[in-house]
Structure 1
Amino acid sequence: MCVRYLGFFLLVWNPQVLHAQSAAQPCPAPSLNGGFLPPGQSAYNHEATLSYACHDGLKPAVKGWWGSSRCQNGNWSPKPQCIDEKACVPLTIPNGHFDASTDGWYGERDRIWVRCDEGYEHKDRDATPQCINGSWSSVPICEKSTESCGDPPKIPHAVILVKGYQEVFAVNSQLHYQCEYGYAAEGEDTKTITCISGTWTEGPTCTQSAAQPCPAPSLNGGFFSPGQSAYNHEATLSYACHDGLKPAVKGWWGTSRCQNGNWSPKPQCIDPNCGDYPTVPNGDVVVQVNGTSLKYQCNELYRLEGQESVACQSNGKWTEPPSCKAAFCVIDPNQTTMDDIRLSAVEYIKEGQRKHIPCIWIARTRLIRCTYGVMYSSVCCTSYDHRYIGCKSEGRIEN
């Protein structure tokens, strides 16, 4: 007789759980085809643990000859089930993943394709284990690629623009540094490094930049205190408006401060009948005519839709302002449906632009274009295929 018929059960049950979490739901006694449970309760408290065993020729759908399941707010997790003893339970692959079975287990002769995470590669090219007589033919190992890079260099007064910490970055990964406010990298405040053959390219040096003065601002419909051509950083300037207009701030006069080359808030005189001018997200006013007519311009990566100018009407309202719509596509490596590409950071593609995105296979890329905010992509091809033969289109891509 199989030792599993000896009725070896483990039942762990904390009677205080019901008091500590009164809102948690109990679980009804589970049903189990091809196996047996401890005798006799019709329900179990939240967090109760229940063990089970299976009949000859079957085994639990978890590791070991017996299984256990815990009551989680009305449901058993994992669900107690007995499967053919020649079936296999899922593997655990550090730094790798594969398509999960809807049943939670794999049948005799089933194969799985293990895909290594970015920056890792299959040891000994082992990627497709097979379920044979209840065991996997092998356990693939995903080890760090010799072409991958570790931690990027730490730069004083800089931060890396990336989502979350990671230990390994794939070859050709790019990271962007942002210098601290008041610091700059070679005339800019951002700098890109690239992983090449296991080594990061040289990072930026963020040096403290001198605060910039502000040129005397222009003001349609108003006037300043007389006469400087430039003002030092942190200087404050007052202004007033002509009859029929008012400052775009509270009060009959306005003030503005020089902030490293820019006036904040921007000195403006507006029509008092219409009040403050309309705000356009991702856009700004570029031309103002006597406080009654405004012209807008969108920020980079956005396109203007609607009339670019607004006017103050006799009813005290501004005409309908334009909107600034996104004119780019974005590929987020944590959300994209393209599981055959290698990206370590979010990639932006401008409207009408085409970009080659590296695939998991060496020397292959996807050619992706952005049209009205929608991405269209080829399959993974070599540079020769893209240029001379033509690469099959996969069509619209949902990110």
Structure 2
Amino acid sequence: MWVRYLGFVILFGLPGALHAQPCGAPGLDGGYFVPKQETYSHEIEITYACDSGRKPAVKGWWATSTCQNGVWSPEPQCIDEEDCLPPEIPNAKFNKKQSGWYNPGNTIRVTCDNEYELKNRDATAVCLNGTWTSVPVCEISNNTCGEPPQIPHAVIIGQKYQEIFAADSKVRYECEDGYSVEGAESKKSIFCISGSWSEGPKCIRGTRPGSGGGEGQTTSSDRTQPAGGGSRPGTGQGGSAGRGNIPSAGSAVRPVGVKNCGTFPTVANGEVVESNESFLKYSCKIFYKLVGPETVLCYGDGTWSDIPICRDAYCAVNTDEHPLLVSVGKVFIKEGEEKEFDCVHQEEWWFDNYSVGKCTTEGLRLQKCCARAQIKFKTCSGVLA
């Protein structure tokens, strides 16, 4: 009896699950839908299209709407074919119309997110004949920084992880317990300046040595060249070509602490993501792929093992070079990914057409313009000229 009573209480507390409201037939001005009936149960979906001279208020020549507890979502609507839908502009903000679409002649002004800047300083677009003219593009600013450097025995506080940071951004490090910066403070900030991070802190256990230590002393986190050693530039110069990460016999070519090789090697479009007493670990920035050893060792003769390179791992599509594509400027696609491009409307096309660009290790493949259904069911073949 107690079990039955408890079940009644639970069901009574969830009226939405038992009494979801049905929907009446939508009032669709200038269009038609299927299936057509007087009422529709909760979560029933309809498909609709619009009469000649009209189009759905969403992307595509047909659309769907679902009954959600008595309300159609999204609301089925047909608008004039010369109206414009909101453009898709990554990493940008612009003035949104309450109606959800824009009339011919309407203008939008685009503002890029902090880490991006307007290409060619073009900030506006105008709705003309159902499409946008010269849609602004937000590209990564040259003054943007990648992720802050990883520092042994430290974490970044008060900041969620992100891959890129706007110019003048500040991040704050805090050393782990038992370590400090310059022998006293446990926190230090660095700043993004003209595309590079200012020098980061070194978290040292206890008090920094040096006041009574011998010449050339350093802690496990320091990058100071040992006494008597020559300076090694950060380009990897002085490393033993072809040696790799497998040392030969002899103390001079055996791995030693990374502090013995001085400045860390520089990898173009890459950065050190982990460093400890034994090795350095590298990673590449976005749109690049690591080739070669992930870890780099320091040998007893003061040279580094082979360092990796960061090769391009993206494809670039300049829509201005393809007359059949709607112009959005240059677009980058990561290797292994795809991106959809709108095609310019042609009189012989009865519905919207698209092209799909795919970036592979062999390069870019840009599919010819086809209907979305053809692309979805892979009945579209050929490449864009």
TM-score, normalised via structure 2 length: 0.47
Greater RCO (Cα-Cα under 8 Å, separation 6 or more): 2
Between Structure 1 and Structure 2, the one with more helix by share is 2
TM-score, normalised via structure 1 length: 0.45
Structure (1 or 2) with the larger CA radius of gyration: 1
